[in-house]
Amino acid sequence: MQRQSNINHINSISQLVRLLGLPAPSHPLIALVDYNKVSIDMFPKGQKVSLDFYKISFKPKFMGQIKYGQGYYDFEEGGLAFLKPKQIVFPPENLESYEGIALYFHSDFIRNYPLGSTISQYGFFSYDVSEALFLSAKEKEIIANLFTTIATELDNNIDGFSQDVLVSQLELLLNYSNRFYNRQFITRKAVNHDIVTSLDNLLSNYFEEEKSLKNGLPSVKYISTALQLSQRYLSDMLSSLTGLNTQQYIQNTIIEKAKERLATTNLSVSEIAYELGFEHSQSFNKLFKTKTNVSPLEFRQSFN
Protein backbone atom coordinates (compact mmCIF):
# COMPACT_ATOMS: atom_id res chain seq x y z
CA MET A 1 0.00 0.00 0.00
CA GLN A 2 2.84 2.36 0.79
CA ARG A 3 4.36 1.77 -2.62
CA GLN A 4 1.10 2.74 -4.32
CA SER A 5 0.99 6.04 -2.41
CA ASN A 6 4.02 7.25 -4.36
CA ILE A 7 2.06 7.11 -7.62
CA ASN A 8 0.32 10.24 -8.87
CA HIS A 9 -2.79 8.67 -10.42
CA ILE A 10 -4.66 10.88 -12.89
CA ASN A 11 -8.00 9.44 -13.92
CA SER A 12 -9.36 12.03 -16.33
CA ILE A 13 -8.14 14.53 -18.90
CA SER A 14 -10.11 17.26 -17.13
CA GLN A 15 -8.16 16.50 -13.94
CA LEU A 16 -4.87 16.67 -15.85
CA VAL A 17 -5.50 20.06 -17.46
CA ARG A 18 -6.77 21.42 -14.15
CA LEU A 19 -3.51 20.35 -12.48
CA LEU A 20 -1.63 22.08 -15.30
CA GLY A 21 -3.53 25.30 -14.65
CA LEU A 22 -5.26 25.22 -18.02
CA PRO A 23 -8.91 25.94 -18.87
CA ALA A 24 -11.25 22.97 -19.14
CA PRO A 25 -10.81 21.12 -22.46
CA SER A 26 -13.34 21.74 -25.20
CA HIS A 27 -13.95 17.98 -25.22
CA PRO A 28 -13.59 16.05 -21.93
CA LEU A 29 -12.05 13.01 -23.64
CA ILE A 30 -9.29 14.61 -25.73
CA ALA A 31 -6.87 17.48 -25.23
CA LEU A 32 -3.70 18.90 -26.74
CA VAL A 33 -1.18 20.39 -24.29
CA ASP A 34 1.70 22.65 -25.28
CA TYR A 35 4.24 22.13 -22.50
CA ASN A 36 6.15 25.22 -23.57
CA LYS A 37 3.24 27.28 -22.23
CA VAL A 38 2.40 25.60 -18.93
CA SER A 39 3.97 24.90 -15.56
CA ILE A 40 4.80 21.30 -14.80
CA ASP A 41 5.34 21.69 -11.06
CA MET A 42 2.41 19.30 -10.63
CA PHE A 43 4.83 16.36 -10.61
CA PRO A 44 6.90 16.20 -7.41
CA LYS A 45 10.42 15.01 -8.16
CA GLY A 46 10.74 11.23 -7.93
CA GLN A 47 7.00 10.56 -7.93
CA LYS A 48 5.68 8.06 -10.47
CA VAL A 49 2.76 8.97 -12.72
CA SER A 50 -0.09 6.83 -14.00
CA LEU A 51 -2.68 8.01 -16.53
CA ASP A 52 -6.06 6.45 -17.28
CA PHE A 53 -5.80 7.52 -20.94
CA TYR A 54 -3.46 7.48 -23.94
CA LYS A 55 -0.65 9.97 -24.45
CA ILE A 56 1.34 10.84 -27.58
CA SER A 57 4.29 13.14 -26.94
CA PHE A 58 5.81 15.11 -29.80
CA LYS A 59 9.09 16.95 -29.29
CA PRO A 60 9.85 18.83 -32.51
CA LYS A 61 12.94 20.76 -31.44
CA PHE A 62 14.54 19.20 -28.37
CA MET A 63 18.02 17.81 -28.95
CA GLY A 64 19.91 15.70 -26.41
CA GLN A 65 19.18 12.98 -23.90
CA ILE A 66 16.40 12.77 -21.34
CA LYS A 67 16.56 10.22 -18.56
CA TYR A 68 13.36 8.40 -17.72
CA GLY A 69 13.84 5.92 -14.89
CA GLN A 70 16.77 3.74 -15.92
CA GLY A 71 16.48 4.47 -19.64
CA TYR A 72 17.24 7.38 -21.94
CA TYR A 73 15.15 9.02 -24.62
CA ASP A 74 17.65 10.34 -27.17
CA PHE A 75 16.20 12.96 -29.55
CA GLU A 76 17.93 14.09 -32.69
CA GLU A 77 15.64 15.96 -35.07
CA GLY A 78 12.75 15.33 -32.73
CA GLY A 79 10.64 12.38 -31.74
CA LEU A 80 7.40 10.74 -30.67
CA ALA A 81 6.75 8.69 -27.56
CA PHE A 82 3.61 6.77 -26.72
CA LEU A 83 1.90 5.72 -23.48
CA LYS A 84 -1.15 3.52 -23.05
CA PRO A 85 -3.52 3.74 -20.07
CA LYS A 86 -2.31 2.45 -16.68
CA GLN A 87 1.38 2.53 -17.61
CA ILE A 88 3.44 3.75 -14.68
CA VAL A 89 6.32 6.03 -15.63
CA PHE A 90 9.00 7.95 -13.81
CA PRO A 91 9.01 11.69 -14.47
CA PRO A 92 12.19 12.95 -16.17
CA GLU A 93 14.94 14.28 -13.94
CA ASN A 94 15.12 17.65 -15.69
CA LEU A 95 11.94 19.69 -16.13
CA GLU A 96 13.13 21.06 -19.47
CA SER A 97 12.37 17.68 -21.01
CA TYR A 98 8.66 18.48 -20.77
CA GLU A 99 8.98 20.84 -23.71
CA GLY A 100 6.96 19.90 -26.76
CA ILE A 101 3.34 18.95 -27.34
CA ALA A 102 1.31 16.09 -25.89
CA LEU A 103 -1.96 14.72 -27.22
CA TYR A 104 -4.11 13.01 -24.60
CA PHE A 105 -7.19 10.97 -25.46
CA HIS A 106 -9.38 8.57 -23.49
CA SER A 107 -10.31 5.12 -24.81
CA ASP A 108 -13.98 6.17 -24.59
CA PHE A 109 -13.26 8.78 -27.26
CA ILE A 110 -12.62 6.06 -29.87
CA ARG A 111 -14.75 3.27 -28.39
CA ASN A 112 -17.56 3.41 -30.97
CA TYR A 113 -15.16 3.64 -33.91
CA PRO A 114 -13.14 0.89 -35.65
CA LEU A 115 -10.03 2.45 -34.06
CA GLY A 116 -11.40 1.42 -30.66
CA SER A 117 -10.90 -2.22 -31.68
CA THR A 118 -7.70 -1.82 -33.72
CA ILE A 119 -5.68 0.46 -31.44
CA SER A 120 -4.16 -2.59 -29.71
CA GLN A 121 -2.48 -3.37 -33.04
CA TYR A 122 -0.33 -0.25 -32.72
CA GLY A 123 2.39 -1.97 -30.74
CA PHE A 124 4.34 1.19 -29.97
CA PHE A 125 1.90 2.02 -27.16
CA SER A 126 3.53 -0.90 -25.32
CA TYR A 127 7.11 0.26 -25.95
CA ASP A 128 9.28 1.73 -23.23
CA VAL A 129 9.81 5.49 -23.40
CA SER A 130 13.48 4.80 -24.21
CA GLU A 131 12.28 3.07 -27.41
CA ALA A 132 10.83 6.27 -28.83
CA LEU A 133 10.36 7.04 -32.50
CA PHE A 134 13.16 9.21 -33.91
CA LEU A 135 11.93 11.45 -36.71
CA SER A 136 13.75 12.71 -39.77
CA ALA A 137 13.24 16.35 -40.75
CA LYS A 138 10.65 15.39 -43.39
CA GLU A 139 8.82 13.06 -41.00
CA LYS A 140 8.84 15.73 -38.32
CA GLU A 141 7.16 18.14 -40.73
CA ILE A 142 4.39 15.63 -41.46
CA ILE A 143 3.77 15.00 -37.76
CA ALA A 144 3.88 18.72 -36.94
CA ASN A 145 1.23 19.39 -39.61
CA LEU A 146 -1.00 16.67 -38.16
CA PHE A 147 -0.70 18.11 -34.66
CA THR A 148 -1.54 21.57 -36.06
CA THR A 149 -4.61 20.18 -37.81
CA ILE A 150 -5.77 18.48 -34.62
CA ALA A 151 -5.16 21.66 -32.63
CA THR A 152 -7.21 23.68 -35.15
CA GLU A 153 -10.09 21.22 -34.94
CA LEU A 154 -10.03 21.31 -31.13
CA ASP A 155 -10.13 25.12 -31.24
CA ASN A 156 -13.29 25.06 -33.35
CA ASN A 157 -16.70 24.88 -31.76
CA ILE A 158 -17.64 21.26 -31.08
CA ASP A 159 -20.35 20.04 -33.46
CA GLY A 160 -21.79 16.75 -34.69
CA PHE A 161 -18.80 16.13 -36.96
CA SER A 162 -15.98 17.02 -34.54
CA GLN A 163 -15.45 13.56 -33.11
CA ASP A 164 -15.50 11.88 -36.54
CA VAL A 165 -12.90 14.33 -37.84
CA LEU A 166 -10.66 14.05 -34.78
CA VAL A 167 -10.74 10.25 -34.75
CA SER A 168 -9.81 10.13 -38.43
CA GLN A 169 -6.92 12.54 -37.81
CA LEU A 170 -5.80 10.49 -34.83
CA GLU A 171 -5.86 7.31 -36.91
CA LEU A 172 -3.81 9.04 -39.60
CA LEU A 173 -1.26 10.06 -36.97
CA LEU A 174 -1.01 6.47 -35.74
CA ASN A 175 -0.65 5.08 -39.27
CA TYR A 176 2.16 7.50 -40.05
CA SER A 177 3.82 6.50 -36.78
CA ASN A 178 3.60 2.85 -37.83
CA ARG A 179 5.25 3.68 -41.14
CA PHE A 180 8.02 5.71 -39.50
CA TYR A 181 8.72 3.00 -36.90
CA ASN A 182 9.10 0.48 -39.71
CA ARG A 183 11.55 2.84 -41.37
CA GLN A 184 13.42 3.19 -38.08
CA PHE A 185 13.82 -0.57 -37.75
CA ILE A 186 15.33 -0.65 -41.24
CA THR A 187 17.58 2.42 -41.07
CA ARG A 188 18.94 1.52 -37.64
CA LYS A 189 20.10 -1.88 -38.86
CA ALA A 190 23.54 -1.60 -37.28
CA VAL A 191 22.01 -1.12 -33.83
CA ASN A 192 19.37 -3.77 -34.44
CA HIS A 193 21.94 -6.22 -35.79
CA ASP A 194 23.80 -5.91 -32.49
CA ILE A 195 20.55 -6.68 -30.66
CA VAL A 196 19.96 -9.79 -32.79
CA THR A 197 23.55 -10.91 -32.17
CA SER A 198 23.04 -10.42 -28.44
CA LEU A 199 19.80 -12.40 -28.68
CA ASP A 200 21.57 -15.29 -30.45
CA ASN A 201 24.34 -15.31 -27.84
CA LEU A 202 21.79 -15.19 -25.03
CA LEU A 203 19.90 -18.20 -26.40
CA SER A 204 23.10 -20.10 -27.08
CA ASN A 205 24.37 -19.53 -23.55
CA TYR A 206 20.96 -20.44 -22.13
CA PHE A 207 21.25 -23.98 -23.51
CA GLU A 208 25.02 -24.35 -23.10
CA GLU A 209 24.74 -23.42 -19.42
CA GLU A 210 21.79 -25.83 -19.11
CA LYS A 211 19.46 -23.17 -17.73
CA SER A 212 16.69 -25.01 -19.56
CA LEU A 213 17.02 -27.93 -17.13
CA LYS A 214 16.22 -25.64 -14.21
CA ASN A 215 14.00 -22.96 -15.75
CA GLY A 216 12.38 -24.68 -18.70
CA LEU A 217 12.07 -23.13 -22.14
CA PRO A 218 13.37 -19.56 -22.53
CA SER A 219 10.43 -17.16 -22.41
CA VAL A 220 9.85 -13.92 -24.28
CA LYS A 221 9.82 -12.11 -20.93
CA TYR A 222 13.20 -13.58 -19.95
CA ILE A 223 14.75 -12.61 -23.29
CA SER A 224 13.36 -9.06 -23.40
CA THR A 225 14.38 -8.42 -19.78
CA ALA A 226 17.91 -9.65 -20.44
CA LEU A 227 18.16 -7.42 -23.53
CA GLN A 228 16.58 -4.47 -21.65
CA LEU A 229 13.86 -4.02 -24.25
CA SER A 230 10.09 -4.10 -23.99
CA GLN A 231 8.53 -7.32 -25.21
CA ARG A 232 6.52 -5.58 -27.93
CA TYR A 233 9.43 -3.51 -29.27
CA LEU A 234 11.68 -6.57 -29.51
CA SER A 235 8.97 -8.58 -31.24
CA ASP A 236 8.17 -5.80 -33.74
CA MET A 237 11.85 -5.20 -34.46
CA LEU A 238 12.50 -8.90 -35.10
CA SER A 239 9.40 -9.13 -37.31
CA SER A 240 10.67 -6.23 -39.39
CA LEU A 241 14.16 -7.73 -39.77
CA THR A 242 13.49 -11.48 -39.89
CA GLY A 243 9.77 -11.96 -40.45
CA LEU A 244 9.54 -13.73 -37.09
CA ASN A 245 8.25 -12.45 -33.78
CA THR A 246 10.23 -13.19 -30.60
CA GLN A 247 8.35 -16.38 -29.77
CA GLN A 248 8.84 -17.74 -33.28
CA TYR A 249 12.52 -16.77 -33.22
CA ILE A 250 13.00 -18.64 -29.93
CA GLN A 251 11.17 -21.67 -31.31
CA ASN A 252 13.34 -21.75 -34.42
CA THR A 253 16.45 -21.67 -32.24
CA ILE A 254 15.09 -24.54 -30.15
CA ILE A 255 14.44 -26.57 -33.31
CA GLU A 256 18.01 -26.00 -34.52
CA LYS A 257 19.34 -27.13 -31.14
CA ALA A 258 17.11 -30.20 -31.34
CA LYS A 259 18.33 -31.06 -34.85
CA GLU A 260 21.92 -30.81 -33.64
CA ARG A 261 21.27 -33.24 -30.77
CA LEU A 262 19.28 -35.63 -32.96
CA ALA A 263 22.09 -35.69 -35.50
CA THR A 264 25.11 -35.89 -33.20
CA THR A 265 24.01 -37.77 -30.05
CA ASN A 266 22.37 -41.03 -29.10
CA LEU A 267 19.99 -39.33 -26.67
CA SER A 268 16.38 -40.42 -26.93
CA VAL A 269 13.76 -37.98 -28.12
CA SER A 270 12.42 -37.72 -24.56
CA GLU A 271 15.89 -36.97 -23.21
CA ILE A 272 16.46 -34.26 -25.81
CA ALA A 273 13.06 -32.73 -25.03
CA TYR A 274 13.93 -32.67 -21.32
CA GLU A 275 17.36 -31.10 -21.96
CA LEU A 276 15.77 -28.35 -24.03
CA GLY A 277 13.30 -27.48 -21.27
CA PHE A 278 10.09 -29.21 -22.35
CA GLU A 279 7.94 -30.62 -19.56
CA HIS A 280 6.40 -33.19 -21.90
CA SER A 281 8.03 -34.86 -24.90
CA GLN A 282 4.68 -34.71 -26.71
CA SER A 283 4.91 -30.91 -26.77
CA PHE A 284 8.42 -31.17 -28.23
CA ASN A 285 7.26 -33.66 -30.89
CA LYS A 286 4.36 -31.42 -31.86
CA LEU A 287 6.51 -28.27 -32.19
CA PHE A 288 9.22 -30.12 -34.12
CA LYS A 289 6.74 -31.54 -36.62
CA THR A 290 5.00 -28.17 -36.99
CA LYS A 291 8.32 -26.50 -37.83
CA THR A 292 9.91 -29.23 -39.98
CA ASN A 293 6.98 -31.33 -41.29
CA VAL A 294 8.65 -34.47 -39.90
CA SER A 295 8.80 -36.01 -36.44
CA PRO A 296 12.07 -36.02 -34.47
CA LEU A 297 12.47 -39.74 -35.12
CA GLU A 298 11.85 -39.31 -38.84
CA PHE A 299 14.43 -36.53 -38.91
CA ARG A 300 17.00 -38.73 -37.18
CA GLN A 301 16.31 -41.64 -39.52
CA SER A 302 16.55 -39.48 -42.65
CA PHE A 303 19.76 -37.94 -41.38
CA ASN A 304 21.32 -41.33 -40.80
Largest interatomic CA distance in the chain: 77
* Least confident stretch, 38-47, 244-253, 260-269: 38-47
Position 70 scores a pLDDT of 42
Query: Of 100 and 177, which is predicted with more confidence?
Result: 177
Residue type, 213: L
Q: How confident is the model at residue 111 (pLDDT cuts 50, 70, 90)?
A: very high
Position 67 scores a pLDDT of 43
pLDDT tens digits along 167-186: 999 999 999 999 999 888 88
Distance from C-alpha of 73 to C-alpha of 79, rounded to nearest angstrom = 9
Q: How confident is the model at residue 269 (pLDDT cuts 50, 70, 90)?
A: very high
Closest among 49, 80, 45 to 62, alpha carbons compared: 80
pLDDT higher than threshold 60 for residue 20: yes
pLDDT tens digits along 129-143: 778 888 888 999 999
* Least confident stretch, 19-28, 51-60, 242-251: 19-28
Domains and CATH numbers, the chain: 4-177 (2.60.120), 190-303 (1.10.10.60)
pLDDT higher than threshold 90 for residue 65: no
Q: Edge to edge, what strands does the sheet with 79-83 contain?
A: 30-34, 101-105, 54-59, 79-83, 133-134
